[in-house]
Amino acid sequence: MVLEGKSLGYRYGKEAWVFHNLDIQVGADEIVGLVGPSGCGKSTLGQLLAGHMRMQEGHVSVDGVPHRKGSRNPVQLVLQHPEQAVNPRWKLRRTLQESGMMDPVMRSELSIEDTWLDRYPNELSGGELQRIWVARALGPETRYLIADEMTTMLDAITQAQIWHAVLRWAERQRAGVLVISHERELIERLCGRVIHFPF
Ligand SMILES: Nc1ncnc2c1ncn2[C@@H]1O[C@H](COP(=O)(O)OP(=O)(O)OP(=O)(O)O)[C@@H](O)[C@H]1O
């Protein structure tokens, strides 16, 4: 079981290629770090693996099947700014319900309080809203999580809580996680394998 990108290439418009002929694998059950200098293409790669951008070269497969982003994407991407990921006009209960993610265990592990669910996104703090985004991403159909600077803006306690919940979820679900981060300590603590990009 593996999330696999083969011979990937991407360029924005007529700009130079960000990368070319790139192969990457993240096994289910694996926590893999992706590190590299600013601008080298880590976020671009994350978007391609999650199917959020159209491939220009190569292909991505999820557990041996070509990746097609449907209503239940098995590859979930969580970024830094949750306010851009949720519908500002929906109360958060609806946001979680729409994703089929009302699992009380997950909510408890992420310390999501029931009262938050009756609020709009702008009525929560950044850290509270990020927990909602993470909960939404970790549904039963999710096979791989791509965490692109997912906890960078958060305080140490919230960071630790979120990662603790993600690691427990990954273990239960036998899911793979790709951790994109500039924080070396975090990568060293979490990841069994680290990919240095560009490679
Ligand atoms: N929408 C865009 N249009 C044009 N160029 C872009 C766009 N998004 C990113 N780029 C360029 O593509 C390259 C790779 O960007 P990307 O965000 O993938 O890098 P990164 O490694 O994630 O960087 P950082 O560590 O700073 O987040 C950079 O040179 C960037 O300027």
pLDDT tens across 33-64, in order? 999 999 999 999 999 999 999 889 999 999 99
Q: Is the CB of 39 under 6 A from ligand 1?
A: yes
Distance 43 CA to ligand 1 centre (A): 7
* Enclosing H/E stretch for 96: helix 92-98
Please state the rounded mean pLDDT for residues 68-88: 88
Please give the share of the chain, as a percent, with pLDDT higher than 90: 83
**CA distances for 83 relative to 23, 80, 90, 133, 166, angstroms:** 32, 9, 12, 9, 20
Angstrom distance (rounded) from CA 138 to CA 58: 27
150: left (phi over 0), alpha (psi -120 to 50) or beta: alpha
Question: Among 8, 18, 179, which is best to mutate for testing ligand 1, by the most ligand atoms less than 8 A from CB?
Answer: 18
CA-closest candidate to residue 62, choices 135, 145, 138:
145
Q: Is 85 helix (H, G, I), strand (E, B) or coil?
A: coil
**CA distances for 181 relative to 36, 109, 175, 197, angstroms:** 9, 23, 19, 12
Q: Is the CB of 42 under 6 A from ligand 1?
A: yes
CATH architecture of 2-196: 3-Layer(aba) Sandwich (3.40)
Q: What is the pLDDT of residues 88-106, one digit of tens each?
A: 999 999 999 887 777 888 8
User: Which position has the token pair 């790709």?
Assistant: 178
pLDDT of residue 71: 64
Q: At what angle do helices 126-137 and 156-173 cross, to 10 degrees?
A: 10
- Minimum-distance ligand 1 atom for the alpha carbon of 44: 18
List the residue whose alpha carbon is closest to atom 25 of ligand 1.
Answer: 38
Distance 180 CA to ligand 1 centre (A): 13
Query: Is the N-terminal amide bond of 198 cis, ω within 30° of 0?
Result: yes
- Minimum-distance ligand 1 atom for the alpha carbon of 149: 27
